Amino acid sequence: MRIRKKPWAEAELAHNSRVIGDGTAWKGKWSEFFRNHNPIYIEIGCGKGGFITKNARMYPQYNFIGLERQQSVIALAARRTDTELPNLALLWENAANLSDLFQVGEFQRLYLNFSDPWPKKRMYKRRLTYRGFLESYRQRMGNHAEIFFKTDNRNLFEFSLNEFCADNWKLSNISLDLHNSEYEGNIMTEYEEKFSAQGMPIYRLEARYDA
């Protein structure tokens, strides 16, 4: 979904201290940015920042980076970001550029929340859980990789199950209706709050790869 361009977005991104202007400059040096050696967790497609911000508040022992490719959306996230969170950063970037932003092993977990399902069959290689993406994620994470995935789209979820298995990830905590499951500690995204309020089931899984 395209978001109408915000006239104030460019200035917000330029002056908000949580927004990293050039992520490539920190490749291999993210521990210096955060001033600690805590694990780094990344959300691809962080939207307006609700999920990643809640995680940063709840888990100060981890560092969180939100990636978002739409300028106006990441600007909205930046406006909502609490400047008291030293373990949170935002990047206006595309997921395809992870290798330009991080050295191997520099982050340990990815969150993929309500990614674009690209419903037309010919577009399946654009889905963020396509095996080509999965391979690039685990290569960038190194010996121990984790992906936590949520969606409201059953077809995308079924596709993703097959892709994770094809790329030899181990799956756990698979849920076909997250909010009516026994899973504890779920942090909702803005989309999730909207969809669950409409009674739509939320699909979730955790995937791990150990070299």
The set of catalytic residues is 116
Distance of CA 181 to the CA centre of its chain: 22
Is residue 103 within 8 Å of residue 37, measured between CB atoms?
A: no
Could you tell me the two tokens for 204? Answer: 């979730």
Distance (Å) of CA 65 to CA 14, 18, 150: 17, 10, 18
Which residues, 6+ apart, have CB-to-CB distance to 83 below 8 Å?
17, 18
Could you tell me the two tokens for 147? Answer: 């992906």
Mode of pairing for the β-strands spanning 109-113 and 40-44: parallel
Q: Which of 197, 185, 122, 120 is nearest to 152 (CA)?
A: 197
Q: Which residue has the tokens 């006239």?
A: 7
* 3-class DSSP state of 188: coil
